[in-house]
Amino acid sequence: MASQEIETLTAALARLPGLGPRSARRAVLWLIKRRESSLVQLLEALDAVRETLVECSVCGNVDTRDPCGICADPRRDQRSLCVVEEVADLWALDRAHLFTGRYHVLGGRLSALDGVRPEDLAIDSLLARIEEGGIDEILLAMNATLEGQTTAHYIAEKLENRPVRITQLAHGLPVGGELDYLDEGTLAQAIRARRPVT
């Protein structure tokens, strides 16, 4: 039976996404064994995050400054705006280094099931950014889920009469994916988004 302090730490870690009680116990033991190296390092990193992280008031990204590094970067294309559901999606897309514009984080997706309505998402602030002008393209980078696509449709409708080009991520075959292993939804999307051979 572990002490109350260790139980509390284990319970806190077990709440992290991707970790359950078993993984949390292993992580705690691992940290206890490396008290001076890893545990201290983790404490300092957590402390630094608590002290400095802010939500960007322009795009909703999480960074150590507001506006965030992406919004403040003059080399970024000001005319392209990529709309994503969550900060994690922004980070994933930006890691790919292919999109050179800026982002807008909605903070979720429309969901009748979870009771998420348009006013719960950062849609008004998106429309306000477009209203300010200077944006030519809106890339709707929602997840390829029913709720993600519903959200994309809703935003596309809202933007119907504005002078912006609306684009969407192509959904299809993952790089290195074998047809045999793909689910039907992915295959159907790939067929629908087929393009001429170049």
Binding site for Zn ion (CB under 5 A): 56, 58-59, 61, 67-68, 71
- How is 115-183 classified by DSSP, letter by letter? TB-GGGTTHHHHHHHHHTS---EEEE---SSHHHHHHHHHHHHHTTTSS-EEEE----PPTT--GGGS-
Nearest to Zn ion of 55, 153 (CB atom): 55
- Dist. CA 14–CA 18, nearest whole Å: 9
Q: What are phi and psi of 113, to 5 degrees?
A: -65, -45
Nearest to Zn ion of 67, 107 (CB atom): 67
Nearest to Zn ion of 58, 169 (CB atom): 58
The amino acid occupying position 37 is S
- Dist. CA 89–CA 6, nearest whole Å: 33
Closest distance between Zn ion and the C-beta of residue 78, in Å? 12
Closest distance between Zn ion and the C-beta of residue 58, in Å? 4
Q: What are phi and psi of 39, to 5 degrees?
A: -65, -45
Closest distance between Zn ion and the C-beta of residue 128, in Å? 14
Place of tokens 């849609």: 123
Nearest to Zn ion of 72, 187 (CB atom): 72
Closest distance between Zn ion and the C-beta of residue 126, in Å? 13
Closest distance between Zn ion and the C-beta of residue 176, in Å? 32
Nearest to Zn ion of 71, 130 (CB atom): 71
